[in-house]
């Protein structure tokens, strides 16, 4: 299982909540115990993942976008991935929308006007202080666009050119959306891959194709270990101890 985080811009305010917004909020799984009306909520929306190749050199299959949108439904929206705080808003509804030449998941999110910090949040969003929303999700397979294998172990490097085309990978078999966050402009992309199982790993070691990590690297003539970090491959010579 691979954990990935993607950010997208908050886009033009959704305006006055519609009847459909209210219906969707009140029919979420685990809905508000006291049904809300259009006078109770602020609604905004954001452009998240799409079928364009993103900064991590990953992208979704166009056919998977509706599934991703359905997985976002009801997820809480935090501020700055601060999991010690409670969510300030919740994702609901939304659509798949074309932007340029690509399609994107465009979830809506709402928060309550009656909350003591509701105006602070509205001002921060509408004034551009929080200008991106970010979701973290888990998927099982980064499929190489060139050879169709797991790109962590195949020989292709995301972002490099292969026969004149940029190498990328598909987020295949998405299993969950974990949380969403409002983030500041210029949020730094994190590590492209990390492994679940309790420990966060900064990169993923890869075995050289056809052999173990002690294979002799043809370019350098010495055994090397290849590590992928932030979407780039790095090599380190293996030095025998003792
Ligand atoms: Zn490949």
pLDDT digits (tens, 9 = 90+) for 109-164: 999 999 988 999 888 888 888 888 888 889 999 999 999 999 999 999 999 999 99
Residue 235 Cα to ligand 1 midpoint, Å, equals 18
Instruction: Give the residue carrying structure tokens 């969003």.
Output: 125
Q: Is the pLDDT of residue 50 over 60?
A: yes
Q: Please say whether the dihedral angle defined by the alpha carbons of residues 38, 72, 82 and 99, taken in this order, is positive or negative.
A: negative
145: CA distance to ligand 1 center in Å? 7
3-state SS of 148-195 is: CCECCCCCCCCCCEECCEECCEEEEEEEEEEEEEEEECCCCCCCCCCE
Report CA(195)–ligand 1 centroid distance (Å).
20
pLDDT in tens, 189-234: 432 232 222 222 333 333 333 333 333 333 335 566 767 666 667 7
Instruction: Tell me the pTM.
Output: 0.72
Domain spans of the chain? 2-191, 203-242
Q: How far is the CA of 169 from the centre of ligand 1 (A)?
A: 9
The answer to whether residues 144 and 209 touch, using CB atoms and an 8 Å cutoff, is no
């Amino acid at each position: 299982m691979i954990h990935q985080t993607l950010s997208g811009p908050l886009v033009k305010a959704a305006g006055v909540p519609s009847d459909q917004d209210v219906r969707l909020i009140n029919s979420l799984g685990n809905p508000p115990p006291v049904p809300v009306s259009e006078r109770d909520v602020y609604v905004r929306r954001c452009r998240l993942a799409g079928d364009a190749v993103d900064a991590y050199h990953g992208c979704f299959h166009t056919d998977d976008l509706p599934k991703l949108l359905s997985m976002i439904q009801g997820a809480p929206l935090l501020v700055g991935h601060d999991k010690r705080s409670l969510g300030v808003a919740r994702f609901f509804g939304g659509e798949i929308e074309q932007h340029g030449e690509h399609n994107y998941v465009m979830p809506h999110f709402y928060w309550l006007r009656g909350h003591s910090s509701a105006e602070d949040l509205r001002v921060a969003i509408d004034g551009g202080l929080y200008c991106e929303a970010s979701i973290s999700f888990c998927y099982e397979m980064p499929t190489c666009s060139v050879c169709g294998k797991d790109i962590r172990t195949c020989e292709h490097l995301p972002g490099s050119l292969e026969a004149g085309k940029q190498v990328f990978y598909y987020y295949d078999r998405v299993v969950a959306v974990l949380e969403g966050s409002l983030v500041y402009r210029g949020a730094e992309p994190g590590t492209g891959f990390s492994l679940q199982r309790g420990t966060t790993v900064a990169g993923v070691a890869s075995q050289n194709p056809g052999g173990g990590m002690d294979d002799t690297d043809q370019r350098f003539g010495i055994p090397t270990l290849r590590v992928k970090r932030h979407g780039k491959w790095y090599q380190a010579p293996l030095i025998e101890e003792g």
